[in-house]
Structure 1
């Protein structure tokens, strides 16, 4: 069920600072819960609400949905038409956020698995006034290679997008590493043929976009620039993808980790709901057990 909750807003625990006071108790009858979608959902993954009230959400199975809150009418804006072979683990349509000027320009940012080649794509699409996305409007901001069909590496795809008030786009990616075949030890398997079991190749690799939170500034022409303050200072050795990293060595960052403000992220692991302050390394330890 997707529901709109109004009247009182509170900051989720995942975004609260460790030294923040505990939230005040709120009576059960303060919130007004209005069911918006009660059936037909297929692995809903992330949503955003436009200034005009439209709820735009994605399903990992490849659909971008639009809901008009006043009429409860639903539209399928885009269907990536994924096959079942792609969806067996955590690949799919994983991230969504609306441009800050979405009502005027219709720009929607998506993080999605390419069904034809083993890559993850970050793209901007344009939604028309009829709530339909023109597939030909895609502007590819970046893409990166992933492991696919190797162990259970695709179970750690993660994915989340958020647009900051300053126009910077935040992109959370999973480490694309299989941690389930290590008998409880760290997945840093350096044996030949075991690349999908070695997080050193992805989240710990500063030249790889997996297992990171990226921060870029999209441009109107579909390109991007790199804002100041990312993890690696600008320089000869930090050109290209490495310069986009804002936080490094995440494992499997949860959807909607970056809302309402990009200051905390949540990653899944042996202890559910681990909190990670952005701008630091929070990946697998060199040893565990």
Structure 2
């Protein structure tokens, strides 16, 4: 699932291939990815407009032009793909932008859980982004304290709540908590000073490395590199990993390194399937 590092990679693709270029055409192969805008209106609004510097907030990519803007959300399977004029379309290419210089950018998405929105005013942008928390890349220790303060919800649930902190998904949430040695089921408000210190450090470090990679990398030294194994083990202590559901999402953690979870909720040995 695309998370903040992936969308930052898509922002760079849009900047490299689109910034300063005129949109010569908008081809919509599947209107099912358009949210609140028709195909004719989207074409009228964007054709002939010149793309400006793109922005990102959390998992949202904001494509500004010299007129209206459009926003892309990639859901679980979305991507932004540059294409040459002769490249054949992919079955999951939903919208293709033809840019001056015969460049093309394709919004590709298999499951179509999110899509593209048109914003003609600041009010339109605020309607989409106004409910988002601060972008996770901008959060320091003091800001993290404010976000966690008084929250009874489990810390994993808080981290992946986009209205609290924008950009973190399931993989990043688990990776950050594993790095910080924090039990994902702990109430956020109960974390002590040391846990919050480690959480802030892990948030910065994981995001820095993941943004550099353009994804949440499945490295052997990362929890992400082990979570989908049939019998996953912790890359730090070698013990068995456990799985459960928190906030409706599959959660992977090490019961040894991330101590503090109530024993009744532990699944050790062969990991249970979500």
TM-score (norm 2): 0.28
Structure showing greater Rg: 2
Question: Larger relative contact order (C-alpha < 8 A, sep ≥ 6)?
Answer: 2
Bigger helix fraction: 2
- Structure with the higher strand share, 1 or 2: 1
Normalising by structure 1, we get a TM-score of 0.27
